[in-house]
Structure 1
Amino acid sequence: MKKSFSPKEYIFLSLILLLSSACRETVHWQAAVPEKGEVGAHVLPDTIAPVSAPFDFPDMEKSVFPDFAVSIADYGAVSGEKVTEAINRAIRDVHERGGGMVIVPSGIWLTGRIVLLSDVNLHLSEGAELHFSGVVADYQPAVFTRQEGVEVYSLGALVYADGQENIALTGKGKLVGPARDCEIQKRQMRGNVIENLIDASSPVESRVYDGRKDGGVFLPMFFSPIRCRQVYVEGVTFENTPFWNVVPVYCDGVVIRGITVRSEKIPRGDGIDIESSRNVLIEYCTLSCGDDCFTLKAGRCEDGLRVNRPTENIVIRYCLAQKGHGAITCGSETAGVIRNVYVHDCVFDGTDTGLRFKTRRNRGGGGENLLYERVRMSSCGQPFVWDMLGSRTYVGDLAVRLPAREMTPLTPFYRNIMARDIIVEQCNRLVKAVGIPEVPVSDVTIERIDAYCNQLMTLQDVDGMTFRDMIVYGSDSILALTDARRIRFDRVSFCLPGGKPAVRLDGELSVLPEYIDCRFSDTEISDGR
């Protein structure tokens, strides 16, 4: 007779199996995985600790500005009234004087687009709230920007910078986006995907969507510096974004630390999106989003290949993702390639997916050299997800798996990925990997994982995935393989109904998985969590 264990008995059994299994170590890796209270904006330290990454990464420091400061009140700003001109005039004056700080005092300030300039720190004092207009005219003229991986001229961002160096947005204040029923929302360009709205062969200068003559606009991001160097963001809170929140594009040398993003229930309300930028440190941030929390992107389809700028050398550490579609996501804009990413010491609490790797057949590029370690996932729908096909709603017949398509410059890939030292406290399906037949997901290693899952794994078009030194508890034992090969379990302890995974093979290329020094326990875990 199978025995059902209570949660406390399950934890005790975990420790016993760990001690007896082949994956035991002198110092248990579980102790190094952070708890929820040890990460996020509320534990931000004063200094930036050195970064030890598996690739060359520059020393990151706080931005330094001349000892000169002005208040927007000095420029006639009055709390409760529109202060767009006062803020931008203060920024211009400080910039022209050689740099310094522009202070937004405590109070509620109404504004349109703010434009940051070199050597200026826009500082929001505690109690300061910048409330942004929802009127299209407050974000004209159109500015150069990148919309979902495609270059255009449109509203850009609520806080914008182009071609600047040493800029900052800091403080304990709050930035609040416009109402959901504002003019900007009503006049946004609509279509299922942006490549169906913009002709990639057209000159960028002709792609103007400024809202003049009752024309449409693309939704502005909240804070998006483009073509900038030395960008520093610390401490502020973003609420009610019209679109993605913090989006460096074509930037080099970015530090984002201790920020809070609240964009729950906002469609496409991503938290932090790094687009075709390099040398980026993100630490001690807390994000609750209506879409992906931390996202890495590198351009889309033909326009992304034309630009061909990677997102590379990215470190994300000590962060908290709570609520959102994906905690940390690569893609689906992958044209310039996402590479050299190191994520460590993070907690995901209540996200739909944990580590998410997206692209589509026509997106180009891909992702490689990605390392994730010391991560805790709680109430996570699917901890490990690869999705390279997408939906017919957005990409039409390209989402139909077979037949395999001819290789083109737009054929994407995901390879050379490592995830280790991860605790999954509760999830639905542990792994879902959907590659494409012409370029399967490849060279993935997942090791030192403790996981409780309702369902085990679904692997489709995968060529090379190793699971090592794991303890897996599941209420279902099905391992579904569709054209999946080189699947290996090395020193894995399974605690499943029936003991061993029940393999379901489909496709001519599928091969039974290999088991090396594995343990199988015919035990059913109770669902009384």
Structure 2
Amino acid sequence: MTYQIPFLLAAAAVLTATAPATGQVRPTFSVKPTQFSTDTVSLLNYGGKADGQTLNTTAFQQAIAAASQKKGVVLIPAGLWLTGPIELKSNVNLHLAKGALVQFTADKSQYPLIKTNWEGVDAVRNQSPISGMDLTNVAITGPGVFDGNGDAWRPVKKEKLTAGQWKKLVASGGAVNEKKDYWFPSEQALKASTMPEPGVIKPGKTEPADFAAIKDFLRPNMLSLQRCKQVLLEDFTIQNSPAWTIHPLLCEDVTIRRVTARNPWYGQNTDALDLESCKNGLVEDCVFDVGDDGICIKSGKNEQGRKRGVPTENFVFRNCKVYQAHGGFVIGSEMSGGARNLFVYNCSFIGTDVGLRFKTTRGRGGVVEKIYVDGVTMTDIAGQAILFDMYYAAKDPVPASGEAEALPEIKAEPLNEGTPQFRDFTINNVVCRGAETGILIRGLPEMSIKNILIQNTVLESDKGMVCQEAEGITLKNVALLSKNTKPVMEIQNSQQVVVDNLRYPGNAELLVRLSGDRTKAVKLTNTDTKAAKKDVELGQKVPKKAISVSKR
């Protein structure tokens, strides 16, 4: 059978010089393309049946094995294909025809427990619905749909559903915790949720069989690629994931183009894309609408991540849209191997909890640096438009009703290998219409956030800017159009902060408040300070010389 797919011979993209420049820095790396023959095998040739009833796991594996020998294509024709886990091989393009829907069975017995990685550490989980390890030249393409049957795996918080939805969910079976505010698909999953670090490999529990008693709890990531080279993901929709949706780990030369990831907003841990310790890639024209972070950069967690020591580096993200998500473009919080040389161009975040979200915490270690953003539009952001947070508290960024919103007290601790670092970010041409806070920068007293340039940006929000424990922060040609102007900017224990040509609401109550005995070298220039009722307010122990104001 011959099935002509026009893009097979040059299936991945190489970055071109037409990419926008950000801060005079351009990507200098290239991405190696995939390449396949036109030899095509169909699932129908291996006994596959698109009747929504037949389990097609064997047909998938036989077709993939045959195509691998030819460096060719596996065609998934139109129809509803029920299957267990799909294991990819090198030199295979798995192609979903228009109208093809691949749904993964809810029968958990079809997913064996395996050694893998979960949220940055070695762990045992159920095998992913789609997986590949140590592959070269592998692709998933075509306009069809993958559905992970995620509701069979995921717990659900009562607060995320309406009363009617919650009642229906509880009546469907499963188990509810003692507080009656958390539903689990089974009693086994509920019991495992009370255990410390369930699924994590540790002395005395090192083999998959050691975790059989909590199998139901160990949700798999939907698409898992580990140590793969020359990867192409293009044109398909992937939805209803049990956990993370697309997870390349330790991969090189990754192209992700025109992929749509969709998960229900209540789906916990259902990040759209998690690039972990990957090198050289392009992500473009994708659409994400999920229950956790949208585009997310990771590199391992704590000691294991530092020991691995592999950053995520050399990636371009352009022309992507993120709808419901905890963050639009995110780095962290598992970033112990670092991240660098990342370029974000012309992306839109519509209704995300946070827009640009950079998060870490003590114990992570790792260096995040040389991050360039140029051209981001946002609207209806529930939390912060731009967030740098080194005190990530491992909870949703937007507090639930009745949950305290006070910032945690930050006290200095000794520097060690677990001290994280954020430095050298350039953010240009950002427009946000509607956010809780325009800019929040929160470093650690022992390790400030360093060298952040935000320019040519307009942020409409309830609060303007909060800057704590930072050094070398520059705002140039920025509009902080905040509703709360008491003050527009709050700067605490920060130094070398330059605000050049700031626009803010007329008749503001207070332009800038300084606090903290380590605040110094703050400069406000080319700004009409007369539009505010009061320009500067100094807290106790802040000397007048801590700030210089060049009135316009």
TM-score of the aligned structures, taking structure 2 as reference length: 0.79
Over residues 428-453 of structure 1, what are the superposed CA-to-partner deviations in whole Å (9 max), with x where a residue is unaligned?
21011221111111110100112222
The CA RMSD over aligned residues, in Å, is 2.8
Deviation at 1:480, TM superposition (A): 2.2
Deviation at 1:497, TM superposition (A): 3.5
Summarize the Cα distance change of 1:522–1:454 in structure 2 as closer, same or farther, 3 Å threshold.
Answer: farther
Assess if the C-alpha contact under 8 Å between 2:247 and 2:276 holds in 1: yes
CA distance in 1, matches of 2:48, 2:221: 24
Q: Which amino acid aligns with 1:301?
A: N
Choose from 442, 451, 469 the match for 2:477: 469
Match for residue 283 of structure 1? 284
Q: Which amino acid aligns with 2:329?
A: I
CA distance in 1, matches of 2:154, 2:380: 37
When the two structures are aligned, how many residues end up with a matched partner?
471
| 2:222 aligned with 1:249 | no
Structure 1 residue runs without a partner (length 5+): 1-44, 525-529
Deviation at 1:112, TM superposition (A): 1.0
Choose from 157, 166, 177 the match for 2:148: 177
Match for residue 114 of structure 2? 143
CA distance in 2, matches of 1:232, 1:192: 39
> Where do residues 393-408 of structure 1 align in structure 2 (5 Å cutoff)?
401-408=409-416
Match for residue 374 of structure 1? 375
Deviation at 1:519, TM superposition (A): 2.5
| 2:67 aligned with 1:94 | yes
Q: Which amino acid aligns with 2:129?
A: L
Q: Which amino acid aligns with 2:233?
A: V
Q: Which amino acid aligns with 1:105?
A: P
Q: Which amino acid aligns with 1:152?
A: A
Deviation at 1:457, TM superposition (A): 1.2
Match for residue 3 of structure 1? none
CA distance in 1, matches of 2:77, 2:222: 20
Over residues 296-331 of structure 1, what are the superposed CA-to-partner deviations in whole Å (9 max), with x where a residue is unaligned?
000001111121111111110010111111000000
Assess if the C-alpha contact under 8 Å between 2:493 and 2:516 holds in 1: yes
Deviation at 1:425, TM superposition (A): 2.3
CA distance in 2, matches of 1:377, 1:326: 11
Structure 2 residue runs without a partner (length 5+): 1-10, 156-184, 397-406, 534-552
Match for residue 463 of structure 2? 455
Summarize the Cα distance change of 1:62–1:198 in structure 2 as closer, same or farther, 3 Å threshold.
Answer: closer
Match for residue 82 of structure 1? 55
> Where do residues 166-245 of structure 1 align in structure 2 (5 Å cutoff)?
166-182=137-153, 186=186, 190=192, 198=200, 202=203, 206=206, 208=208, 212=212, 215=215, 218-245=218-245
CA distance in 2, matches of 1:66, 1:362: 48
Q: Which amino acid aligns with 1:73?
A: L
Q: Which amino acid aligns with 1:432?
A: L
Summarize the Cα distance change of 1:49–1:304 in structure 2 as closer, same or farther, 3 Å threshold.
Answer: closer
Deviation at 1:510, TM superposition (A): 2.3
| Secondary structure class of the residue paired with 1:427 | coil
Summarize the Cα distance change of 1:227–1:194 in structure 2 as closer, same or farther, 3 Å threshold.
Answer: farther
| Secondary structure class of the residue paired with 1:468 | strand
CA distance in 1, matches of 2:196, 2:57: 30
| Secondary structure class of the residue paired with 2:45 | helix
Match for residue 487 of structure 1? 497
Q: Which amino acid aligns with 1:481?
A: I
Match for residue 522 of structure 2? 513
Over residues 144-174 of structure 1, what are the superposed CA-to-partner deviations in whole Å (9 max), with x where a residue is unaligned?
4221001234324210000000000111000
Match for residue 391 of structure 1? 393
Summarize the Cα distance change of 1:210–1:122 in structure 2 as closer, same or farther, 3 Å threshold.
Answer: farther
Summarize the Cα distance change of 1:475–1:59 in structure 2 as closer, same or farther, 3 Å threshold.
Answer: same
Summarize the Cα distance change of 1:464–1:119 in structure 2 as closer, same or farther, 3 Å threshold.
Answer: same
Over residues 77-106 of structure 1, what are the superposed CA-to-partner deviations in whole Å (9 max), with x where a residue is unaligned?
1112110110011101211x2320001111
Summarize the Cα distance change of 1:179–1:311 in structure 2 as closer, same or farther, 3 Å threshold.
Answer: closer
CA distance in 1, matches of 2:46, 2:532: 71
Assess if the C-alpha contact under 8 Å between 1:401 and 1:437 holds in 2: no
> Where do residues 342-381 of structure 1 align in structure 2 (5 Å cutoff)?
342-381=343-382
Assess if the C-alpha contact under 8 Å between 1:152 and 1:207 holds in 2: no
Deviation at 1:181, TM superposition (A): 3.5
CA distance in 1, matches of 2:210, 2:65: 24
Deviation at 1:522, TM superposition (A): 3.6
Q: Which amino acid aligns with 1:365?
A: G
Match for residue 4 of structure 1? none
Over residues 110-153 of structure 1, what are the superposed CA-to-partner deviations in whole Å (9 max), with x where a residue is unaligned?
1111000000011111110010122332121x334221001234
CA distance in 1, matches of 2:421, 2:210: 35
Deviation at 1:369, TM superposition (A): 0.6
CA distance in 1, matches of 2:28, 2:331: 20
Match for residue 317 of structure 1? 318
CA distance in 2, matches of 1:506, 1:472: 20
